[in-house]
């Protein structure tokens, strides 16, 4: 099973590493990291580099495509070569998935027209610009397309996908393998739950960047 993980400069690392950590454990998984050019890409803050072993033009298809997000996606929404590649790979996939603002790339590639989808909460309403229907759910499944909310939601998405691909029991074994029994010290992980001051603090930080 070919699992293709898109990466790019400015990616949010957990967007792709969360799903990867789950999906690489599927039976027969062969995971390929791919970028515009093969080699190192730097995450959003430049502290961490991941290696893309493949360039886009080396990858012609996938069983599962994972498109992550990060602040960089805003510019990539206008990258016609990348969007054409996403459309071409999607034409071959069993599952096309996204995490966080990776959904904006699927949307810009016109794969979400008329479909429900999710993305990072701060970008949710922008899905409408591409004809998608934003929902506040953490994981949204529409046919073969599965979108996840911000950053850490990719883990929940990938476990959902693992169950579709390999069955509930195997997905549970993966969950146990990564000991995913979340116990966050606060209940502030969504706009609905976070204190208003925390939401405003973060919106102010985001306001300085172009989401």
SS3 103: helix
Alpha-carbon distance of 146 to 116, in angstroms, equals 10
Closest to a second copy by CB, 114 vs 184, is 184
Among 198, 207, 209, 211, binds a second copy (CB under 8 A): 198
Among 37, 48, 55, 91, binds a second copy (CB under 8 A): 48
Alpha-carbon distance of 83 to 68, in angstroms, equals 14
Which of the following is catalytic: 7, 14, 62, 100? 100
Least Å from the CB of residue 154 to a second copy: 10
Among 8, 95, 121, 130, binds a second copy (CB under 8 A): 121
Closest to a second copy by CB, 80 vs 210, is 210
Long-range contacts of 173-182 (CB under 8 A, 24+ apart): 174/22, 174/25, 174/26, 177/25, 178/21, 178/22, 180/155
Q: Please tell me whether residue 171 binds a second copy under the rule CB under 8 A.
A: yes
Among 75, 84, 173, 211, binds a second copy (CB under 8 A): 173
- Of 105, 91, 84, nearest to 8 (Cα)? 105
Closest to a second copy by CB, 12 vs 96, is 12
Alpha-carbon dihedral angle through residues 189, 195, 196, 199, given to the nearest 10 degrees: -30
Please provide residue 70's backbone torsions phi and psi, each rounded to the nearest 5 degrees: 140, 170
Q: Which residues are near a second copy by CB under 8 A?
A: 12-14, 17-18, 20-21, 24, 30-33, 40, 45, 47-51, 53, 100, 120-121, 138-139, 149-153, 155-156, 159-160, 163, 168-173, 175-191, 193-195, 197-199, 201-202, 205
| Catalytically active residues, by annotation | 100
């Amino acid at each position: 099973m070919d699992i293709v993980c898109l990466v790019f400069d400015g990616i949010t690392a957990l967007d792709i590493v969360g799903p990867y950590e789950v999906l690489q454990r599927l039976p027969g998984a062969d995971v390929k990291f791919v970028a515009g050019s093969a080699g190192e890409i730097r995450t959003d803050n430049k502290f961490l580099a991941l290696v893309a072993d493949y360039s886009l033009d080396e990858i012609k298809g996938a069983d599962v495509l994972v498109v992550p997000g990060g602040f960089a996606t805003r510019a990539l929404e206008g990258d016609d070569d990348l969007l054409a590649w996403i459309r071409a790979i999607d034409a071959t996939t069993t599952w096309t998935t996204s995490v966080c603002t990776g959904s904006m790339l699927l949307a810009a590639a016109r794969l979400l027209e008329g479909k429900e989808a999710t993305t990072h909460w701060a970008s949710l309403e922008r899905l409408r610009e591409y004809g998608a229907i934003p929902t506040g759910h953490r994981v949204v499944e529409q046919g073969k397309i599965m979108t996840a909310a911000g950053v850490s939601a990719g883990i929940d998405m990938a476990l959902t996908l693992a169950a579709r691909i390999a069955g509930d029991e195997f997905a549970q074994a993966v969950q146990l393998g990564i000991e995913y029994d979340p116990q966050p010290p606060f209940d502030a992980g969504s706009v609905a739950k976070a204190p208003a001051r925390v939401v405003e603090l973060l919106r102010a930080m985001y306001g300085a960047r172009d989401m």
